[in-house]
Amino acid sequence: MRIDRAGWPFITGPLAPAVALGLLARLTGRRAPRAAVWQLLGLSAYMALFFRDPQRSCDTAPPGPDDVLSPADGVVMVAGPAQEGVGPEPAPEGGWQQVSIFLSVVDVHVNRSPYRGTVTRTSYTPGSFLAAYRAESAHRNERSEIWLADGDRTVVFRQLVGVLARRIVTRTTTGAQLATGERMGLMKFGSRMDVFLPADATVVVRERQRVRGGESVIARFGSGGRP
């Protein structure tokens, strides 16, 4: 299983003292504090699980040219017109549509680009750490916003922190070229992803649906847009 490089400090942090306790017990002939060792090993195993970075279908076969993929694993919270006061500015003709995905602490937290194109704008906004499932978290929480342009198509997506997530990792910059489903960052410990689409895209997911980053189609452009 591939592990994102941001996870290694969190994996080795509890693993190192667990190994040290085991070695010390062996050298001194004393019994290691078994409960502490197992707790440290369990924490290290969870960190490996949290920072796992599995292969997805977009890594082996290019998605359809009109497909917008989920940028993360999780449960769809919003699927339809953008919530009032949440969509990015300026808005395109017809307004934004919105797909919001909530990530639990057991979901894969590696983030992927929902669509292809050139990164035309990025921004980072410090803010609160409200629960990511609350509507107001979209404009009050700490977040990173990325604008993608491919011809006359624009897709905007946001990484938002939550109660536990306190760090956003964004691995793209203005001018970069992203492919649909390409890895572009992660969020640490529970968070939310928002995707904003113009009116000529059709949202094909529903609220409370579970999606997989880099695999689940959440919207389609043009004639490919069919529920």
Residues acting as catalytic residues: 191
Among 142, 136, 176, 135, CA closest to 158: 142
140 Cβ contact list (under 8 Å, min separation 6)? 127, 128, 130
Q: Is 5 exposed, middle or buried (0-12, 13-18, 19+ CB in 10 A)?
A: exposed
Beta bridge partners of 97: 81, 197
- How does DSSP classify residue 136? T
Across the chain, where does the E strand assignment appear? 67-69, 74-81, 97-103, 110-112, 117-125, 143-150, 153-161, 168-170, 177-178, 183-187, 191-197, 201-203, 210-211, 217-221
Taking only Cα atoms into account, the Rg of the chain, rounded to an integer number of angstroms, comes to 20
φ, ψ at 134 (rounded to 5°):
-80, 140
Place of tokens 């990511």: 132
Q: Is 2 exposed, middle or buried (0-12, 13-18, 19+ CB in 10 A)?
A: exposed
